[in-house]
Amino acid sequence: MPINYYIFLSIALFAIGIVGVLTRRNAIIIFMCIELMLNAVNLLLVAFSKMHHLKAAMTDITTKAGTDGQLFVFFIMVVAAAEVSVGLAIIVMMYRNIHSVDVNFLNRLKH
Amino acid sequence: MKNVLQIVYLIPLLPLIGFLINGLGRKRLSKSIISIVGCGTILASFILSIWVFLQVKNGNTHVASYFDFISVGSLKIPFAFQIDQLSSLFLLIITGVGFLIHVYSTSYMHEEKTEHFGRYFSFLNLFVFSMLLLVMGANYVIMFIGWEGVGLCSYLLIGYWFKNTEYNKAANKAFIMNRIGDLGFLIAIFWLFAKTGTVTYGEVFTGVGKLNGSDITIITLLLFVGAAGKSAQIPLYTWLPDAMAGPTPVSALIHAATMVTAGIYMVARSNVLYSLSELSMNVVAVVGLATAILAATIALKQNDIKKVLAYSTVSQLGYMFLALGVGAYSAGVFHVMTHAFFKALLFLAAGSVIHAMSGEQDIRNMGGLSKKIRITYITFLIGCIAIAGIPPFSGFFSKDAILLATYEKSPVLYGIALFGALLTAFYMFRLLFITFSGGFRGTEEQKHHVHESPKPMTIVLIVLAGLSIIGGLVGIPEIFLKGGDKISEFLSPVIAQHGEHTVSHSTEYMLMALSTGLVVAAIIFAWIKFRNYQRSEAMSFGKVLENKWYVDELYEKIIVKPINWLGSFLNKTFERDIIDWLVNGVGRVVNYGSRQLRLLQSGQVGSYVLLMVLSMVIIFVIQFFLRK
Amino acid sequence: MGVTQILFWFLSVVALFSALMMITSKNPVHSVLWLIATFFAISGHYILLNAQFLAIVNIIVYAGAIMVLFLFVIMFINFNKETEPRKNRWLKMIGAIAGGCLLLVLVAALKDSDIKNQAAQVKEGNIGLIQYLGKELFSTYVVPFEISSVLFLSAMVGAVVVGKKE
């Protein structure tokens, strides 16, 4: 597949994630949008890894080029999992304190 | 071998050294050391000047170049001294009269504290240095340096008693009025440089063909503006009478004998240019004559002994300009010389009178002094005779030369000038009679105190009186003595000859007899009128004269008031409403803008993210589309 | 159009549609479900790119563990009703426009990039297989892998500290 298609698909998913962050007020949904953006990037990384591999394989059939990209995606998933656990804990605590998950109530940054 | 005249730099250098010693050591040196340094340096310069005079007597001239003062692009101004007949004559006058006045000052200023005594002599030496620079400079720029230097010294010395506000105002007035003239001079220099590419006298005068008629007229008129400022001509003359606030020897040296003649020197030096412009010559002559008459009429009714002499100075300067304007340059320079003698004498004698009267300057409070201060009286009388122009005193010869030249040019101007000469004789003898004859009108205390001045002062007076008597003998008219007009002959290498007199001998005799007769008549009239002067209020017209034609008031109205008004307008309206508005407006805009921008800091994460995204968009746009 | 292309377009449409539904649905639980659908579509893309290990990890970790965690939190705070207040309509519109602008700018910028003629290898190539990735992970990347366990530990401690009652 032409790499352009993957680039545009990733950009579209990423932009949808951004629009979600900008338009929604529910902290959980915003969090999910962030996950969507992470996945868009992951998809692109894998596509690039395969592109790189194809190019390298033209000269050397046994090449391992491109492995790095996929391992990077793996680590992103690791970090994302850790992030989600902490983030959800924060959301729970926020709900416990202000009985809402509306980010508009979170304007303490002003002070 | 280098020209021996190369060492002339010592002439201005010595007073400069004297200035530095006295100025820096004024708190440590004793009065006698200050006096010796102050007078000694001038005396040494005077001796050198005599030597220089002897060198150039045979028609030698020399330009002593030392270094490049300014060298930028095509502008090359060497630091050079012009040694010729004209400058050597001025050197003699400046250092000679300057030395006498220094000697006189040692006694006159003896009451001052040592520190101020030192300050006085350092300023006086600085003045002599600047004046020497002015006359010795080989180009207009060096002349201008000296020109500004003497202006500064004049300011410093008028305001010598700086604790008196009036004196400071007088000093400011002198300085500012001179500045107006200096601007003209400066523009003239620029113009000259722009047109000829040089400011050195020799090159300007030989390359005068490069200039067209209107350029010459403009340059000479601008130079005359400078001369009018420095030499107190209409309309810039009002500073000179006020300059009498300074110590009397200063008035004698700066405001009578030397500095005020700088304008004459400049015009005489530029005579090649002036001769090419009929209009400028006429302007110079008319302004000179008008000043002479105006100042003489004012002098008729003044009651301050120094003010009378000051107006007399203005009037005599007017005569000098008249002489220059009618083309009799050597007569003008001749008058500078004789005037330096007798006006210095008159001022110093007046100083002696003031000294005797314990600082009193109002002649209405004097009278009958002739018996008590004999030497002062006699010398003052000699000065009056000399300025009135009675043969064979010095003033007669120089004034006669001017009048004769004026007659050749225009009998009308001659008539007016003769009238001015009558006025001169009249007010000078009025001053003499009111001061020295009749009964004493001052207080008893003053009467008891009146005494003759100490030796250094009287000796100087006697020397100057001698010079006033014989000083005219260097310019005896041709009709009396063939080859008697030594001064014109001496100056001929520098100043274009006036040419043979066109009037017949009989006319010339008649004119002399007429002027002498009228002057004598004026003196007799003054004697009748003021022999026994009694205090009286001035009449209607007399009042106008006493108030100096209200010129100061007129200037106040038409110049000072509008400028003040403009100043306060700029201050109140322009400054407050526009400048302040702008400045405050900047502050207000920032204030308002920050108040609006503060709304961005809402604490809402959503808006922060929104802005972040927009910024990303902008950065991408710049990165990908605009940077190409 | 071969099977690969059909699959690509199908998975792309599913991913985009599910993502859009995720951000537009009112109910958070629906959003979670739509997001899971998106993740499945992305996993499909991984399989298409023959990155099988990542496809499985994506489904297990993301679509499984993480989304279950989301659902669990939503249930936990009893949030299944439409409690979200109406957001300012203008702000929504501005947000959408800003996102659209970003999309446009990026597409316009990358449309003519140098790599547009290159292609990604699909259906073949064995670097995505667990055999190769595992060898690489436990040889070259063994230190980051071990460190990531520390990250998990600290994240766990953090979650407990943040989440426990005062």
CB of A101 closer than 8 Å to CB of C77: yes
Residues in C touching A54 (Cβ below 8 Å): 118-121, 125
> Does some domain include residue B615?
yes
- How many domains is chain B partitioned into structurally? 2
- Give yes or no: residues B353 and B502 share one domain: yes
Whether B467 is in a domain gets the answer yes
**What pLDDT score does B470 carry?**
87
Query: For B451-503, how does the pLDDT look when each residue is reduced to its tens digit (9 = 90+)?
Result: 888 888 888 889 989 988 888 888 777 777 776 677 777 887 777 665 556 67
Q: Which domain holds residue B588?
A: 556-627
Dihedral sign of CA atoms B605, B609, B612, B614 in order: negative
Fill in the amino acid letter for B450: V
Contact C101 B610 (CB under 8 A): no
Please list every residue in chain B whose beta carbon sits closer than 8 Å to the beta carbon of residue C101: 614, 617
Q: Which of C16, C46, C151 sits opposite A82 (nearest CB)?
A: C151
Q: Is residue B398 part of a domain?
A: yes
Q: In chain B, how many H helices and how many E strands?
A: 27, 2
Which residues does B545 contact at the CB level (< 8 Å), separation at least 6?
B297, B298, B300, B301, B538
CB interface of A with B, residues 70-109, below 8 Å? 103-104, 106-109
Q: Report the run of H or E that residue B576 belongs to, with start and end.
A: none
Of B604, B608, B610, the CB nearest to A104: B604
CB-closest option in A8, A23, A47 to C107: A8
CB-CB under 8 Å, B610 with C108: no
Instruction: Read off the pLDDT of residues B436-446 as tens digits, 9 standing for 90 and up.
Output: 887 787 777 77
Q: Which residues contact B39 (CB under 8 A, 6 or more apart)?
A: B99, B102, B103, B106
The arithmetic mean of pLDDT across residues C68-93, rounded, is 73
DSSP per-residue string spanning B530-545: HTT-------HHHHHH
Q: Are residues B394 and B521 in the same domain?
A: yes
Contacts of B606 in chain C (CB under 8 A): 91, 95
Contacts of B617 in chain C (CB under 8 A): 98, 101-102, 105
Mutation choice for A interface testing from B605, B608, B617 by most A CBs within 10 A? B605
C126 to chain B, closest Cα gap in Å: 36
Return the residue of C nearest to A95 by Cα: C77
pLDDT at site C9: 93
Q: pLDDT of A16-50, one tens digit each?
A: 999 999 888 888 899 999 999 999 999 999 999 99
Residue B504 has pLDDT above 80, yes or no: no
B vs C, Cβ pairs < 8 A, gives 27
Please report whether residue B242 resides in a domain: no
**Does the residue B62 lie in any domain?**
no
pLDDT at position A111: 60
The reply to whether C12 touches chain A by the CB within 8 Å rule is yes
Q: Would you call C1 an interface residue with chain A, using a CB distance cutoff of 8 Å?
A: no
The band of C46, judged by pLDDT with boundaries at 50, 70 and 90, is: very high
| B394, pLDDT greater than 50 | yes
- What confidence category does residue A98 fall into, taking pLDDT thresholds of 50, 70 and 90? confident
C17 contact A CB<8A: no
- How many folded domains does chain A comprise? 1
> In this complex, do B625 and C95 lie within 8 Å of one another by their Cβ atoms?
no
User: Which has the higher per-residue pLDDT, C42 or B578?
Assistant: C42
Q: CB of C144 within 8 A of CB of A72?
A: no
Percent of chain B predicted with pLDDT > 70: 97
Chain A residues with beta carbon closer than 8 angstroms to that of C5 = 1
In this prediction, residue C43 carries a pLDDT of: 94
Say if B302 falls within a structural domain: yes
Interface A:B, Cβ pairs < 8 A: 25
CA separation for the pair B268, C129 (Å, rounded): 111
pLDDT band at B579 (very low <50, low <70, confident <90, very high): confident
pLDDT 10s digits, B262-302: 999 999 888 888 888 888 899 999 999 999 999 998 888 88
pLDDT category at A57 given cuts 50, 70, 90 is confident
With H, G, I as helix, E, B as strand and everything else as coil, classify residue B82: strand
Which distant-in-sequence residues (6+ apart) come within 8 Å of B187 by Cβ? B222
Containing domain of residue A66, as a range? 3-108
With a cut of 60, say whether residue C22 has pLDDT above it.
yes
Residue spans of alpha helices (H) in B437-504: 444-449, 455-470, 486-491
The predicted structure's pLDDT at residue B246: 86
Q: Chain B residues with CB inside 8 Å of A110's CB? A: 601-603
d(CA C30, CA C80): 9
With 90 as the cut, is the pLDDT of residue B588 above it?
yes
CATH label of the domain that carries residue A67: 1.10.287.3510
Among A23, A74, A102, beta carbon nearest to C96: A23
Same domain flag for B431 and B519:
yes
Judgement on whether residues B398 and B525 belong to the same structural domain of the protein: yes
Task: Say whether residue C69 is in contact with chain A using an 8 A CB cutoff.
Answer: yes
> pLDDT digits over A3-13, tens only?
889 999 999 99
Could you tell me the two tokens for C93?
């519109």
**Which of B104-108, B267-271, B429-433, C16-20 is predicted most confidently?**
C16-20
B598 plus B519 within the same structural domain: no
Query: Are residue B522 and residue B588 in the same domain, yes or no?
Result: no
Are the beta carbons of A107 and B602 separated by less than 8 Å?
yes
Query: Which of B439, B450, B461, B251 lies closest to B358 in space, CA to CA?
Result: B450
Handedness of CA C92, C96, C97, C102 (dihedral sign): positive
Element (H, E) at B64: strand B62-72
Contacts of C99 in chain B (CB under 8 A): 613
- Is the CB of C58 inside 8 Å of chain A's CB atoms? yes
The pair of structure tokens assigned to C17 is: 């549609």
For residues B588-613, average pLDDT: 85
CB contact under 8 A, B613 and C102: yes
Please say if the pLDDT value at position B586 is more than 90. Answer: yes
Tell me the three-class secondary structure of C44-76, residue by residue.
HHHHHCCCHHHHHHHHHHHHHHHHHHHHHHHHH
Tell me whether residue B123 is in a domain: no
Show which of residues 558-617 on chain B sit within 8 Å of chain A, judged by CB atoms. 601-606, 608-610, 613
Structure tokens at B40: 């000694």
Under DSSP, is residue B76 helix (H, G, I), strand (E, B) or coil? strand
**Whether C55 contacts chain A with CB within 8 A:** no
Residue B370, SS3 per DSSP: coil
Choose the closest CB to B603 out of A21, A22, A110: A110
Inform me whether the pLDDT recorded for B1 exceeds 50. Answer: no
Other C-beta atoms within 10 Å of B410: how many?
14
**Predicted confidence (pLDDT) per residue in B515-553, tens digit:** 888 888 888 888 888 877 776 666 667 777 777 778 778
- B-chain CB neighbours of C113 within 8 Å are none
The C-alpha atoms of residue C25 and residue C15 are separated, in whole angstroms, by 15
Residue of chain A whose Cα is closest to the Cα of B598:
A110
| Beta carbons of A92 and C15 less than 8 Å apart | no
* Longest Cα separation, chain B: 115
Optimal mutation site among C101, C104, C107, C114, interface B, most CBs of chain B within 10 A: C101
- Do B354 and B461 lie in one domain? The reply is yes
Chains that touch A (3 or more CB pairs under 8 A): B, C
Note whether residue B261 is domain-resident: no
Q: In angstroms, rounded to a whole number, what is the distance separating the alpha carbons of residues B429 and B385?
A: 9
Residue of A nearest to C158 (CA): A86
Are the C-beta atoms of B184 and B247 separated by less than 8 Å? no
Q: Does residue B235 have a cis bond before it (omega within 30 degrees)?
A: yes
Report the range of poorest mean pLDDT among B144-148, B159-163, C80-84. Answer: C80-84
At B259 the pLDDT is 87
Cβ-contact B134, B262 below 8 angstroms: yes
